[in-house]
Structures are given as C-alpha cells and as structure tokens.
Amino acid sequence: MTETCDLVVRGGQCLTPSGLVDADVAVRDGRIVDIGAVMPGRGATELEVSGLTVLPGLIDTQVHFREPGSEHKEDLQTGTAAAVAGGIATVFEMPNTRPGTTTAAALEDKLHRAEGRAWADHAFFVGATADNVENLGELERLPGCCGVKVFMGSSTGDLLLDDADDLARVFANGERRIAIHAEDEATLRERRRLVEGGASVTQHPVWRNDESAMLATHRAVETAERVNRRIHVLHVTTAPEIVFLGRHKRLVTVEVTPQHLTLHAPDCYEAMGTRAQMNPPIRSADHKAGLWRGIVDGTVDVIGSDHAPHTLEEKHGTYPNTPSGMPGVQTTVPIMLDHVHHGRLSLMRMVDLLAASPARIYGIPTKGRLAVGYDADLTIVDRNRKQTISDAAMLTKSGWTPFDGQEITGWPMLTVVRGNVVMREGELLGQPLGRPVLF
C-alpha cells in the first residue's frame, strides 16, 4: 500500500489473531489499514513503541460510573478517564444509576451526557424491571445499548428482579444476550439476620454465601434453556458455579473479575476492612482456585472489572451498612498483566478475555482484534515494567483502589482510541473523543 496514513505505530511487538509478530501498524480514518513493515513517510504522525507490546484496544464490559444520581462517587468523564489511563479503550456502563436506565429517554440522556466528555468508546445497558419487560426487545436494539441487565439479587440501586415469573418474561422478550447478576434474593434476606445490628466485614461472604450464588445461577440457566435465550453470568465467584456453567455453554457465557482472581477471604477483609466489600463477595482461596480452573479450561469467557466506586468516607462506615463495591477499571490491565507475568495465563488468553471474546459475545463487528479493517483501538503495554499501584495515581473520583501498595509486573503505557492517542504513561492527551459503540 502506498496511501498516506494518519498514524503509524512503529517498532512494537503486535499481538495479532495468529500470535505475536514484530510489525508496524498503519492507521487511516480511525481504522487499521496495514500491519507489517510500513514504509517510512506514510504516516503523518509516527509513534515509536520499540520494546513495547501492542494489543487490540481492551474492553471492560462491566463498569458503574454513577451518573446520573451519584456523581460525588464518579461520573462519565472521570470514569472513562480512569479507563483509558488503565489501558481500556471501550466500556459498557451499568444501568443502576438514579434514575435507573430503564427507558429510551434514560438511555438517550446517558448518551447525551457522554458526548464530548467520555474518553473511551462506550455503550450502556438497559435495566430490566417488571414494568418495562414488554419493551425490552425494542430497548435492546436502540443505538448505544449493549444489552439488557438483570439484577437477581439486591445490590447498589433499585433494579431488583427476583420474581421467577418476571424473570421468565424478561428472558422471553428480545434476542440479544442478557447480562445477569446472580444472587438469590430470598436467601440474602433470610441470612441478613447473621450481620444485622453490626458485625465484622469478614462475615460478608457468610451472609451472601456461596449457596445464594448457586441458587440464582441455577435458576438463570434453567430459565435460559427453557426459553432458548443467551445469557452472560457476571462476576462469578464460586468454584461450583464454574463447574456447573462449564456444562451449560450452549447458551451461557461467563465473566469473572480481577478482584476475585487476585484476593481471597479472610485475608483481604482483615487487611482492607470494608474496602474489600463487594457483591458477590470475595470468597475463600478454594473458590479463587476454582475461578482459575475456569480460566484455564475455557469456561470463563470475559474479564470485567465491575468498577463500582464509593467514597472512602462511605466505605469507612459500620458494616453491614457500608456500601458494596470497589473501583477497578484503571487496575484491570496491570493486575491481569501481572498474572500473565507469573504464568497463570498466557497473554493471548488475557487478550481473548478482555477484547476478542467481549466483541464476539456482544456483537461488536469492528473491535477486539488487531487486524486490518478493525477500529484502531490499541492498548500498548510494557510487559516487563515493575510498578506499584497506588491510591494517588487513581483518576477515579473515589480516589482509591483495593490494590494500593501492590507491586506488579506489566503496565499500560499508551491507549489509542480510533487512531487517537488519549493516554501516554498515565497522562491524558487531547480532549475526550469517545463515541457510542456500534453493534
């Protein structure tokens, strides 16, 4: 090819669908137009990345950016700034805001709020309720919607859907894959007596026990198979769920979080207190090992951060009245690169979990691969860089991370969104230019 390009990324080791290759990447009009030895002078801008690894732009399919309604914790601008600072080029934002994203007007409001403020490309889930079930087939097809989200167990916000008949009606309306928060609400309500009136946060996985997760996951899968609807089970936390879900892959895909792959009880609660509180909970080392078996055997399809920030003032209250959730969108990539460094998974597997598989599951035709014709979204990393994660470096409005003080190996150095360098060595560049994702 001889055409002039907008950008040439030179000298890196590129992770293509066929593996790592030493190659340049040529970009024109926001798309990759060549991968190989690109002739000098073809690019209006040349980006030298010798010694670094060029990955397809990574995707975080589960973030909570709290806007509208709780902007003191986070908003679309600060949340997406944290995303690109951490090497994430695309985010899917959850519907449990205030008000919830349950109507076409609420979805349009979020898209409008993101315009000119979002650093990353983005899409928004619509929350399922008993009131909007008949409209879900239309809502899931609206521009900027990545799908429908169901909360089977209570968490932040008020989008609980715990009635079996309502769940079946939701599954029967629409065609796209439904994202599921699977905890059994009846079990959670009955067991709350164990912590009511005050308890140690070490009791969080005792209250929200593994049975509550298994019951909801079983019900979700049984309903999905009865009506032949594809589902995506979010933030799976137990070893038995991994075994069960591995037997039901025809309609079911599976997500785990970096937190559940990295932390375990009781150590995390003893070290961090309520900073470690999230739903579903961080569980024992045996459950963590079960999640890793799911990574290795292919049961797990996606890594999502479940970025769910609260202020430290809120988190420092008295359990169980403290909010569940922790920031994660800025630390997912370094944490997973560290796991790669320690041999727990391959770089190719990590990128499948954070790019190719999310694009396949949700139907994004132009993202998730480093290949000609795809969006020029790039996550460029130094796999050998040792760095200590710190609260001070977090761009999230909440200003903290559960991984504060942890030294890791592997770090995101640059983030490119549709051919635009938006982050370099932790600093944001230019202006927010994120756009809605096309499905």
Catalytic residues, which ones? 306
- Whether 95 contacts 67, CB under 8 Å: no
Torsion on CA atoms 413, 118, 278, 408, rounded to nearest 10 = 0
Q: Provide DSSP, 231-256.
A: EEE-S---HHHHHHHHT-TTTEEEEE
Residue 66 region, left (φ>0) first, then alpha (ψ -120 to 50), else beta?
left
CA–CA separation, 139 and 356 (whole Å) = 25
Q: What angle do CA 69, 354, 424 make, to 5 degrees?
A: 75
Question: Which single residue is written with the structure tokens 């009606």?
Answer: 169
Question: Which single residue is written with the structure tokens 């796991």?
Answer: 339
- The closest of 384, 325, 334 to 354, measured between CA atoms, is 334
Strand ranges in 128-219 using DSSP code E only, listed in sequence order? 145-151, 178-181
- Whether 300 contacts 242, CB under 8 Å: yes
Contacts of 7 (CB under 8 A, 6+ apart): 26, 27, 43, 44, 45, 46, 47, 376, 416, 419, 421
